[in-house]
Amino acid sequence: MKWHITACIPLIVILLTMGMGSSALAQTPVRPVPNRAPAARPKVEPCWQVAGISKAAMDQRNTIARETRQQIEAVCANDSLSPQQKQQEIKQIHQREKQQIEGLITPEQQSAMRACQQERNPNPAPHVTHGGGPCGEVPPAHAPGTDSQQPSDDAPKPN
């Protein structure tokens, strides 16, 4: 009998404690949580508007940029071109893009837009590329294995 009573006492203590805890919680007044919605920030005018560029011009600029990326992807996918030919084609594509954009947006407007963007985001994340060039190729100076395969002038030569 003593064993049953001794085993039950901790259980009774736990149950009583839980009962008091829940009744204590039940008696705690519920405070309404204040609405913590973020304070409405004043709407900031986009940098292209600050620079005096129209929405239509920006839409055209974005279309030109998208078409340029597609053209570069097509050049990169063209296996009949050598790396030098691809590089030359891509250079011409970028020149055409620059001319088209300058027909829409003056160099002064572009400069004002870049200044506004720099002011708002002084430390932008670095542009990450997976390779050295637009087609993902590794530049010859950094190609894997080129450093270790060419002996330096200081290295002893085998006899």
Report the domain count for the chain.
1
The structure's pTM equals: 0.56
What digits encode the pLDDT tens for the residues 29-48? 666 666 666 667 788 899 99
In a domain, 56, yes or no: yes
Q: Give yes or no for residue 100 having a pLDDT over 70.
A: yes
Q: What is the mean pLDDT of residues 63-80?
A: 96
In a domain, 105, yes or no: yes
The percentage of residues in the chain with a pLDDT greater than 90, rounded to a whole number, is 47
Residue with tokens 């691809």: 86
Which residue would you say has higher pLDDT here, 15 or 151?
15
Q: Which domain holds residue 55?
A: 47-120
In a domain, 107, yes or no: yes
Q: Give yes or no for residue 54 having a pLDDT over 80.
A: yes
Of 71-85, 113-127, 145-159, which range is least confident? 145-159
117-134 core/surface letters (b: 16 or more CB in 10 A; e: else): beeeeeeeeeeeeeeeeb
Angle at the Cα of 126 from the Cα atoms of 139 and 89, rounded to 5 degrees: 40
In a domain, 18, yes or no: no
Rounded CA-CA distance 145/72 in Å is 28
Tokens of 11: 């259980």
Q: Give yes or no for residue 109 having a pLDDT over 80.
A: yes
Q: What is the mean pLDDT of residues 17-37?
A: 59
